[in-house]
Amino acid sequence: METEIINISKSESKEEIYSKLTEYYKRGKLVAIPTETVYGLSANAMNDEAVSKIYEAKGRPSDNPLIVHFYEMSQLDNIVDYSDENVKKLIDKFWPGPMTLILNVKENNGISKKVTAGLNTLAVRMPSNVTARELLKETKVLLAAPSANTSGKPSPTKFEHVYHDLNGKIDVIIEDEQSDIGLESTVIDCTRYPLVIARPGDITKEDIESVLGEGSVKYNEEVLTQNAAPISPGMKYRHYSPEAELVLFNDSFENLINILKDKNQKTGFITYKEMESRVNDLNVSIKYLADNEKSVEQSNKNLYNILREFDEEKVEEIFILPIGETKENKALLNRLNKAISKK
């Protein structure tokens, strides 16, 4: 398969492009699109065959549900029930944006059962990325879209990441800028109360409680067994992992430096820019997650890109020291914990 590359923002004939993409979606084609979180692999959410192609292209387990992306609320009227007052408050505050809501589905809604993985709920999101919103507006298609990468690998925050993983496997890649946020959306299960954060993201528990009140939401701390059905992407399987072994070094900075002194460019080290003067003499590949631990937004945006850079360098092991948990970095630590080698 030859993958077509389209850059909408630089095109002088956007109308023609949207007309072509609308036809592509009708025909069940796969289109990688930018969003503010990570790039997504999109297909018509009402087309069984198209949705099956998503799982096939990614190598994704079929019991891992997908998120449906949309342009305006009226598109959901016959799809899901969003009448709850708490849901309406979240919608008013955080959409468009990096928030996904899990809602009860309505009967005969037309959404492929492959999107919901057989559940009676559906995850929906209204993205804020300009290109994504224009595409959703002009095509008028509800798009099922997980991250546009090989399943289990670091999510793509750049066009180059998508091209590396999926060129030749999908029909179209929309070329655009790097994702602003760099981590997947916050997923909130709104089918129970207190609401449950099924996957942490840029919108924090504290952000949600500032709208709904203290105690209105909790994190999903349940450990899923291998046979349990995940209600959200990112819950059950190992995700976000580089090719190399990612090692959490539970000891002092000094002891790790002593170990790294005997290593070479086949070893990677993730640290902060404020430590630069202490690691200059090392012969390993060093990547700076951010200026310091407090730079959470910077860390979020850089994490997946760093892991992919290590893959390009073909390092064999990557070391990282523990990062202290705060209210702000819950999503970052969630992704790191899933990426770390469990040996």
Q: How far apart are the first and last CA of the chain?
A: 37
Mean pLDDT within 149-175: 97
Encode pLDDT of 274-324 as tens digits. Answer: 999 999 999 999 999 999 999 999 999 999 999 999 999 999 999 999 999
Shared domain check, 79 and 145? yes
At residue 223, does pLDDT exceed 50? no
Residue 230 lies in a domain: no
CATH of the domain at 280: 3.40.50.11030
Encode pLDDT of 176-200 as tens digits. Answer: 999 999 999 999 999 999 999 999 9
In the chain, what percentage of residues exceed pLDDT 90? 90
Given phi > 0 = left and psi -120 to 50 = alpha, else beta, which region is 70? Answer: beta
Shared domain check, 168 and 128? yes
Please say which residue of 219, 254, 284 terminates a domain: 219
Task: Please give the pLDDT value at position 237.
Answer: 54
Task: Please give the pLDDT value at position 238.
Answer: 58
Encode pLDDT of 325-342 as tens digits. Answer: 999 999 999 999 999 976
Instruction: Provide the residue range defining the domain that includes 291.
Output: 245-339
Residue 137 lies in a domain: yes
Encode pLDDT of 259-288 as tens digits. Answer: 999 999 999 999 999 999 999 999 999 999
Shared domain check, 286 and 201? no
Whether this prediction's pTM lies above 0.85 is answered by yes
Shared domain check, 265 and 207? no
Quick one: which of 211, 141, 220, 236 has its CA closest to 187?
220
Residue 298 lies in a domain: yes
Encode pLDDT of 85-128 as tens digits. Answer: 999 999 999 999 999 999 999 999 999 999 999 999 999 999 99
Q: What angle do CA 293, 297, 303 make, to 5 degrees?
A: 80
Farthest-apart Cα atoms in the chain, separation: 64
